[in-house]
Structure 1
Amino acid sequence: MSVGTRAHRPRTRIQREKRELILEAALEVFSAHGFRGSTIDQIAEAAGMSKPNLLYYFRRKEDIFTTLIHRLMETWLAPLHELDNVGDPMTELRGYIRRKLEMARDYPRESRLFANEILQGAPRIMLLLEGELKALVDEKAEVIRGWMRDGKIARCDPRHLIFSIWATTQHYADFDVQVRAVLGPDRGGDGRFEDAARFLEQLYLEGLRP
């Protein structure tokens, strides 16, 4: 059962729809105002329901936020899970860069939600960062080290390689207003993500060739 719910029985279709409505409204509110700047009243208003009705589904603001963050992390970490030591390193890294840029394009609110939490010191997700995320990065760092030992890519610090891919791809979500303003109307449309993908592929793949 998800955090903060009252029901112990399987949810009805209407209950599932109401929860999704609340989560969608909360994502909009949290991504705009951060956790501290958001209130249950704001989320209820955005969801078009009364505060008591919302509290039937989630007891606290923290429960809504935690549900969103865990859903976000599951989505965001999927491409890193797919990084495979069996495949060709350049193909694997190209695919990872592309999938991360697609997420920057398709999930900008989720990216801002995560960034706000990190800027506050990650008080609600530190255990997740130190546990599940660290374990996954450690695992994929070993995959990258294996490619280095086999002479398939140039030597580098695998964790900082992963960090830098996160930074360069998520920039296009967290700083999208800046990116579009600087690129201007001719290059600031949807094609900016394809332009970014080609550049980042060149930057990383050429830099990592042995």
Structure 2
Amino acid sequence: MTKTAEQPKLLNIYQKLVEIRKTVDVFVKDSQGYGYRYVSGTQVLKKIREKMDELGVLLVPIVLNQNHSTFNYTVWDRENKRERPKTDFVVTGDMKYVWINADDPSDRIEIPWQYMGQQDDISKAFGSALTYTERYFLMKFFSVPTDEDDPDARDTAKQNGKIDKKENGKNKKASKNQLDYIDALISRRVTADWTKEMLYEKLKETMGVDKEPSEWTVEEASKAISIITGRFE
């Protein structure tokens, strides 16, 4: 009598997501933007997609609604040495991400989410909103630690031969006077359509950072002031 091969145990969607989470480690920040290194969506997806394919897990974004508005400001035209008006399109809305078990499509998890994008072209605003949102959804859902969140980051940097210059502008924390000045500049620009929180989020996006102002360095605070006074005044 021959033995039949034992069938592998099928995992439910929760168990599959746990297995995917196990493959996630500290991502190397390989994307450069405005002098700030951050985890790119491409890197996040590359790390996770292989395991999703192996386990048969789908991630489906579903946009539920969409709101549009415009944000008018001025920029400095260096060539003509004068200010010129500029308009950005802002796209916001509610959405959800759905994790689906390909072995049993009725086995799924829905996660409510929101998106926001701002560009000088409305289609680009929508596209960048989805791209940015997906990256951070995956990072938050799987609790992806970045280098800055890693308590051993400083030791790791030393092991890799990186020099830690705490007292230069790139590492020294921004002063209270700097942060208070930034807050005052932001407060002056609050409107019915643009809350202080929204303006701060736009500023962080422009700077290429996602940490709170209280964690900014002297260099980042100086950059924030230059952006606000250069773009909006």
TM-score bucket (shorter structure): under 0.3
Larger Rg: 2
TM-score (norm 2): 0.22
- Structure with the larger strand share: 2
TM-score (norm 1): 0.23
